[in-house]
Chain A
Amino acid sequence: MSLKPRYVNFQETWAKLKETIADVVALQAIERSVWNSRFSDVYALCVAHPEPLANELYDETKKFLEEHVSGLLERVKGSSELESTDYNDGLLHRYVTAWREYSQGLTYLNSLYSYLNLQHVKRLKLSDADMIYGSAAVTSCVDQGPRHLEIGELGLMIWETVLIVPLAEAMTLRIVSALNSARDSNPDPTTADILRTAIQSTVEVQSYNVRKPMSLYQQLVVEPFLAAASAHHSRRAAELLNARDVSYFMKYVLDGLEREISLGNKFLHSSSSEAVWTCYEQACVAAHLPALHAEVERLLKEACEDSPNASERREDLKRMYALLKPLGQNALRPLIEAAHAQAAKEGLALLAAEHSKDDAHTHFVHSMLSLHNKYKKLFAEVFGGAQAFIGALDKACSEVVNSRAEGESTARAPELLSRYCDTLLRRKGSERDADDKLSAAIVVFKYIDDKDVFQKHYARALARRLIHQLSASMEQEEAMINRLKAACGYEFTNKLHRMFTDVAVSSDLNAKFQQYLRENNLATNTGFFIQVLQAGAWPLGGAMAPLAPPAQLEKPARLFESFYRASFSGRRLAWLHHLCTGELRTRYTQRLYHINATTPQCALLLMFENTDAVRAREARETLELPEEAWSRHVRPLVEAGLLIAKGDLEGNDEETELLLNLNFTCKRTKIRLTCAAAPANQGGNGPGGAGASSESTHCDDDRKMYLQAAVVRIMKQRKILRHTELIQEVVAQARGSFAPSVAMIKKCIEALIDKQYLERSPGNLDTYSYLA
């Protein structure tokens, strides 16, 4: 056969062709030779001489297909009642049979016409890009030209317009009712298959439509289905909620959600699964939010108690979270708030529980830790450790930690926690245990607002431990400081590190001193150990009691001073006698006692060398002790029974005498005499009162300096800044060590304006500018 264009008789050729395509769309068998010659016929028509007959062929084919589909429509309709919702009346079945046959036939037809499609239609067709980004001129491409579709696509379009449109309502009714009943009971496989194919056909039939590929499916299936589903779910949910309690409701709703999703996956196109899900959530959960929220508090409370159905309640909460989560923050908020309130309430109750006063610090830290662990576990189990709930727990913990008892101006947490650490670090015991406990203490530490107060308490306790060598292990001390550093940064532990360095330097210094003594043939007569500390780094209280040390002690002190002066130029040493300790051995008693006492106490005891009674006033003058320090040092001696006071110790009574107790006995051979704390330097066992208030003013001053420095830093960088922004930035900077009050920041800003670091911008009162 020749490929050359030639004259073709259209009527004749079309008659032959029509016969064949009628067979093709009806899926009748066609011989290979017939197929081949029809294929050539299509070609011949398209390239016919003198005029190509492609347009006529296209139009005739269209007409034929329209007629064919109208025939199918009658077949599908059959005798069924169009308004019926009975999906088993055969209409869907007939539709699906016809669709299968037609769509299959259409693909064959499309290949028979492939020359026409390729050469003729393509020229008329718009590219995909034109369709998507097309200019306004080609908006409705479907109606644009009469012959722009390939034959296969044309067939689909005809199916839609000729067959589906008249049947649309009938199909929708049946599909929706079929889906509804499929929800409750699994349909048998054939029905399911029919249903699926029918729904699928609404998608496929528009596959040529690039612009709105699924509008028919949406309109025919999804929208009516969702409307029906939503009505159904709302009704069901309302019934359930009325009939049973919330626990049952949630369980049912969650199961239903699963069923609904699988229903969607089974029958609907994958693009609509989200819509199905949202519709369900809206109807079942969103509509009943108040009812769910009303139960939140009770469920949480019961889940937290040690009641037998706590685990059940936890399951309930888990379900509730699963239901509320997809609805977003607003739906979850009451749950989060209730979680927060519950944790905070329990925390406060724990703290308020009965405990002995001496154990306040242990009680506090252990309560906090048990609270934190319990809720962390609970929230992880129930809410999958979601960020919002962790946040709520954090908020609750920090509220509890920083809560103040009535009548207290500041929270006690910093003091209690530092005492807890102090106890642990002093105790000699299993190291691992203490390590774990200290790590856990960091958890509590992170919640403390007044970290600067904690730092002061901790620094003082550390100083005591280092000077009196009370630490159980230096590794532990250092590990703890590193933990604090990790939590709060370098600035925070700066001073603590300096104290550590001093201790290390001091032990070097002692070794060098001993060497110096050997080289110069000198001796101190007594054991001698010294700690040289850097002034300013240690929280020791400024007051340095002047004291004339006893002759026995003066010698090593002078030796060391001269050694120190030779080793380091330009440094002055100052003795802190209230911290120096001497170890004495008694010889006047029956048993031998080792007494550990402060220097003034040693000096006092040494006074009894030649006598058994000393006048208090004379002793005080010899020791050059001020009145207040005197009673602090003497009292422990009297209380321990080493000395007997005759008369009033405090007053300036001329007659008061101190007698050496020659019959002194004690169960222990080692006696440790402490020195009551100086008022300016609140000790560990000192009660609150005056010490605490001076402490808080001290802290306030530090905070003011910190805030002023922060303000200047920020302003130096920003030059001009609005008031609110400045406050925000300052708060952000200070958060690491304390929570500043806005009033305090304002005062600091005022002070800086007075000092001419800042000024209010002229004409703009809420803006500050930096003065270089």
Chain B
Amino acid sequence: MKVTIKSWTGVATWRWIANDDNCGICRMPFDSCCPDCKLPGDDCPLVWGACSHCFHIHCIVKWLHSQPQQQCPMCRQDWKFNNK
């Protein structure tokens, strides 16, 4: 061995993997936060439903609270959190 690696410091960035650019409820980009938050990222995460639609968690929770039936605002299927 001419050269050995002692250690390695990696730097990586992360972003959301979403099927759309914007949140269907607040229309803000997923890279940004919902209108009630100040900082995007861990403080304002995204959630996916069983129907594969994706929203800011604050947006969908607010939506579900305001509705008699628990439906996805995009496809009207019953809303279930996808905990894969």
Residues of chain A having any CB pair with chain B under 8 Å? 467, 494, 497-498, 501, 505, 525-538, 540, 552-553, 556-557, 560, 564, 568-576, 579-588, 594, 599, 602, 605-606, 608-609, 660
Residues of B within 8 A of A576 (CB): 11-13
Cα–Cα distance between A16 and B68 once the two chains are bound (Å): 112
B18: nearest chain-A partner, CB-CB: A570
Are B7 and A526 within 8 A (Cβ)? yes
| One of B10, B11, B41, B48 near A569 (C-beta < 8 A) | B48
Binary contact readout B16-34 vs A (1 if CB under 8 angstroms, 0 otherwise): 1110000000000001000
Closest A residue by C-beta to B17: A572
Minimal beta-carbon separation of A260 from chain B (angstroms): 64
Q: Which residues of A contact B38 (CB under 8 A)?
A: 494
A–B pairs, 25, beta carbons within 8 Å: A494-B38, A497-B39, A526-B7, A526-B8, A529-B10, A531-B10, A535-B15, A536-B31, A537-B40, A540-B13, A557-B10, A560-B10, A568-B14, A570-B18, A572-B16, A573-B12, A574-B13, A574-B14, A581-B8, A583-B6, A584-B3, A584-B4, A587-B4, A606-B3, A606-B5
B42 CB–A CB distance under 8 Å: yes
Closest beta carbon of chain A to B74's beta carbon, Å: 17
Q: How many residues of B contact A (CB 8 A)?
A: 28
The 3 closest A-B pairs by CB, nearest first: A527-B7, A579-B11, A535-B13
List residues 34-71 of chain B with CB under 8 A from any CB of chain A: 38-42, 46, 48, 54
**Is the beta-carbon distance between B3 and A527 smaller than 8 angstroms?**
no
Contact of A528 among B7, B14, B41 (CB under 8 A): B7
A531 to B12, CA, bound (A): 6
Contacts of A537 in B (CB 8 A): 40-41
- B8 and A583 form a contact (CB under 8 A): yes
Residues of A within 8 A of B9 (CB): 529-531, 580-582
Contact A585 B4 (CB under 8 A): yes
- Are B41 and A529 interface neighbours, CB within 8 A? no
- The answer to whether residues A570 and B13 also contact, given A527-B8, A586-B2 and a CB cut-off of 8 A, is no
Within 8 Å of chain A (Cβ to Cβ): is B84?
A: yes
CA distance A587 to B31 in the complex (A): 46
Shortest CB distance B9–A (Å): 5
Docked Cα-Cα span, A533 to B3, in Å, equals 30
The reply to whether A580 and B15 form a contact with Cβ atoms under 8 Å apart is: no
Q: Which residue on chain B has the smallest CB distance to residue A534? A: B41
Q: State in angstroms the CA–CA spacing of A579 and B8 once bound together.
A: 11
Chain B residues lying within 8 Å of A579, measured Cβ to Cβ, are 11
Do A556 and B13 contact each other (CB < 8 Å), given the known contacts A535-B31, A588-B3, A605-B3?
A: no
Chain A contact surface mostly: mixed
Interface assignment of B1: CB less than 8 Å from any CB of chain A: yes
A536, A552, A568, A575: the one contacting B12 at CB < 8 Å is: A575
Question: Are A571 and B14 also in contact (CB < 8 A) when A498-B41, A505-B42, A534-B40 are?
Answer: yes
Task: Report B6 CB to chain A, min CB distance, Å.
Answer: 4
Contacts of A528 in B (CB 8 A): 7-8, 10
Cβ–Cβ contact B10 & A580, under 8 A: yes
Chain B positions near chain A (C-beta within 8 angstroms): 1-18, 31, 38-42, 46, 48, 54, 84
Q: A525–B5 Cα gap in the complex (Å)? A: 9
On chain B, the residues within 8 Å of A583 by CB distance are 5-8
Which chain A residue lies CB-closest to B7? Answer: A527
List 15 extra interface pairs beyond A526-B7, A560-B10, CB under 8 A.
Answer: A494-B38, A497-B39, A529-B9, A531-B11, A534-B42, A537-B40, A570-B16, A572-B16, A574-B13, A585-B5, A585-B6, A586-B2, A606-B5, A608-B2, A609-B3
A606: nearest residue on chain B (CB-CB)?
A: B3
* Separation of A584 and B5 alpha carbons in the complex (Å): 5
From known contacts A494-B39, A536-B40, A608-B2, infer whether A529 and B7 are also in contact, taking CB-CB under 8 Å: yes
Cβ-defined contact, A570 with B12, below 8 A: no
Q: Which residue of B lies closest to A528 (CB)?
A: B8
> Does A553 lie within 8 Å of B8, measured CB to CB?
yes
Q: Knowing A498-B39, A498-B41, A569-B48, say if A535 contacts B14 (CB, 8 Å).
A: yes
CB-based nearest B residue for A498: B39
B46 nearest CB across to chain A (Å): 6
CB-CB under 8 A from A501, the residues of chain B are: 41-42
A574 to B17, CA, bound (A): 12
Which partner residue on chain A sits nearest B45 by CB separation? A570
- A556 near B2: Cβ-Cβ < 8 Å: no
A611 to chain B: closest residue by CB: B2
A580 contacts which chain B residues (CB < 8 A)? 8-11
CB distance from A93 to the nearest CB of B (A): 86
A557 and B12 alpha carbons, distance in the complex (Å): 10
Of the candidates A467, A529, A564, the one whose C-beta lies within 8 Å of that of B8 is A529
Instruction: Identify the interface centre among B2, B8, B38, B48: most chain A CB within 10 Å of its CB.
Output: B8
Inter-chain CA distance A602–B54, complex, in Å, is: 40
When C-beta atoms are compared, the residue in chain A nearest to B46 turns out to be A570
Within the complex, the shortest CB–CB distance from B5 to chain A, in Å, comes to 5
- Residue pair B13, A532 in contact (C-beta under 8 Å): yes
Min distance, Cβ A594 to any Cβ of chain B, angstroms:
7
Asked if B39 contacts A538 (CB within 8 A), the reply is no
Q: In the complex, are the beta carbons of A530 and B12 less than 8 A apart? A: yes
B13 touches A538 (CB 8 A): yes
What separation, in Å, do the CA atoms of A586 and B4 have in the docked complex? 7
Option from B1, B10, B15, B54 in Cβ contact (under 8 Å) with A571: B15
Q: Which residues of B contact A505 (CB under 8 A)?
A: 42
User: What's the least CB distance linking B51 to chain A, in Å?
Assistant: 15
Give every chain B residue within 8 A of A536 (Cβ-Cβ): 15, 31, 40
Closest Cβ of chain B: how far from A588's Cβ, in Å? 4
Q: Once the chains are docked, how many angstroms separate the CA of A528 from the CA of B2?
A: 20
- Contact check, B8 vs A533: say whether CB atoms are below 8 A apart: no
Chain A residues near B1: list those with CB within 8 A. Answer: 587, 609
CB-contact partner of B2 in A571, A573, A588, under 8 A: A588
A581 / chain B contacts, CB cutoff of 8 Å: 8-9
Complex CA gap A279/B4 in Å reads 92
Report the Cα distance A531→B14, complex, angstroms: 10
B35 to chain A, nearest CB (A): 14
Expressed in whole angstroms, the Cα–Cα distance for A568 and B17 within the complex equals 11
Can you name the residue of chain B whose Cβ is closest to the Cβ of A584?
B3
A552 to B7, CA, bound (A): 11
Chain B contacts of A556 at CB under 8 A?
8, 10
Could you say which residues of chain A place their CB within 8 Å of the CB of B11?
Answer: 467, 530-531, 533, 575-576, 579-580
Cα–Cα distance between A501 and B8 once the two chains are bound (Å): 22
> Complex: how many Å from CA A505 to CA B5?
26
| A453 CB, nearest partner CB in chain B, Å | 23
Which chain B positions have C-beta within 8 A of A540? 13
Distance to closest chain B CB from A27 (angstroms): 89
Give the chain A neighbours of B17 by CB distance below 8 A: 570-572
> How many angstroms between the C-alpha atoms of A580 and B5 in the bound complex?
13
Residues of A within 8 A of B5 (CB): 525-526, 552-553, 582-585, 602, 606
Q: Is there an interface contact between B2 and A534, defined as CB atoms closer than 8 Å? A: no
Q: Given the complex, which residues of B lie within 8 Å of A602, measured CB to CB?
A: 5, 8
Task: Report chain B residues within 8 Å CB of A585.
Answer: 3-6
Minimum CB–CB distance from B38 to chain A (whole Å) comes to 7
Cβ–Cβ < 8 Å partners of A552 in chain B: 5
